[in-house]
Amino acid sequence: MERGSTAEPARAGHGLTDGKMSPAPSITYSITRLAEEFDLTTRAIRFYEDKGLLSPRRQGQTRIYSPRDRARLILIVRGRNVGLTIAEIKELLDLYELPDQCETQTRVAVEKFRLRMASLERQREEIGLQIKTLQDACARLESQLLKKAGSV
């Protein structure tokens, strides 16, 4: 089992693009500790690593995650929670490296978030229509049952 530091990490901020917020750089994390903290499997974290979203250093077979990796994992989890694809999350994380104080990253994030909200709004409308159709069908069928029960 991999071991991380025993120091308690500071909490990162709440925004999806706040990758600059992270604990002190001397703190490190094991894959097990990050998996427990974010309620993920170690396999999921390795998947994110395979996709280029995380880049822990290695000490033999042991992965050593930095505060930067932890901050990126926060953003990955938040992105997944709102339905962004791995490719979209990677694009946002990669934009952090630009020298424009995250302006491009923020603009692209807002665009992606608005597109995702529009998609969810369409889904909500479709779900509402399906619920209404099912309610109408139940009402018709229940009415038929009542008519049959009354004629017996």
* 150/65 Cα distance (integer angstroms): 71
Report the phi/psi class of residue 131: left, alpha or beta, with left for phi > 0 and alpha for psi in -120 to 50: alpha
In angstroms, the Cα distances linking 60 to 55, 64, 150 are: 15, 10, 78
> How large is the average pLDDT for residues 123-137?
98
Q: What rounded mean pLDDT belongs to the chain?
A: 87
pLDDT tens sequence across 18-44: 445 555 557 999 999 999 999 999 999
The pair of three-digit structure tokens given for residue 13, joined into one six-digit string: 């901020």
CA distances from 35 to 39, 94, 135 (A): 6, 23, 42
Q: Which CATH class is domain 31-151?
A: mainly alpha
Which pTM does this prediction carry? 0.72
Q: Where are the domains of the chain?
A: 31-151
Q: Tell me the residue ranges of DSSP E strands in 5-139.
A: 57-59, 62-64
